């Protein structure tokens, strides 16, 4: 029983970290996609590192919230997770 809890904790931690990393990557890619789209429509490519870091920070917060929720659902054996 103790080993099962340890395995679930490790899996939940992995889900949390993976969700955070994927959300950061998704938000940065989305930011760059829309900047590229604006550049193709004729406006200049006006993306700064501050904009990229802001998108990464948003992905970090969103991924943390989603990852904590998924990890807790899995840890407490909620049906479907």
Q: What is the pLDDT along the chain (81 residues), one digit of tens a residue?
A: 677 888 888 888 898 999 999 999 999 999 889 888 888 888 777 788 898 899 899 999 999 999 999 888 888 888 876
Q: How far apart are CA 12 and CA 81, in angstroms?
A: 11
Q: What is the pTM of this model?
A: 0.80
Number of domains in the chain: 1
Q: How many CB atoms lie within 10 A of CB 1?
A: 4
Q: Tell me which residue range forms the domain holding 47.
A: 11-75
Computed on alpha carbons and rounded to an integer, the radius of gyration of the chain in Å comes to: 18
pLDDT at residue 81, rounded to an integer? 67
Q: Is residue 5 part of a domain?
A: no
User: For position 9, what pLDDT does the model report?
Assistant: 85
Residue 81 within any structural domain of the chain: no
Asked if residue 37 is part of any domain, the answer here is yes
Residue 2 lies in a domain: no
49: how many CB neighbours lie within 10 A of its CB? 7
Is 6 domain-assigned?
Answer: no
Is 44 strand, coil or helix?
coil
Judge whether 4 lies within some domain. Answer: no
């Amino acid at each position: 029983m103790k080993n099962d809890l340890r395995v679930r904790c490790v899996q939940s931690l992995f889900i949390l970290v993976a969700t955070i990393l994927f959300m950061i990557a998704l938000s940065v890619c989305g930011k760059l996609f829309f900047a590229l789209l604006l550049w193709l429509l004729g406006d200049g490519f006006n993306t700064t590192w501050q904009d990229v870091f802001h998108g990464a920070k948003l992905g970090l917060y969103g991924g943390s919230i989603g990852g904590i929720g998924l990890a807790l659902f899995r840890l407490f054996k909620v049906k479907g997770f």
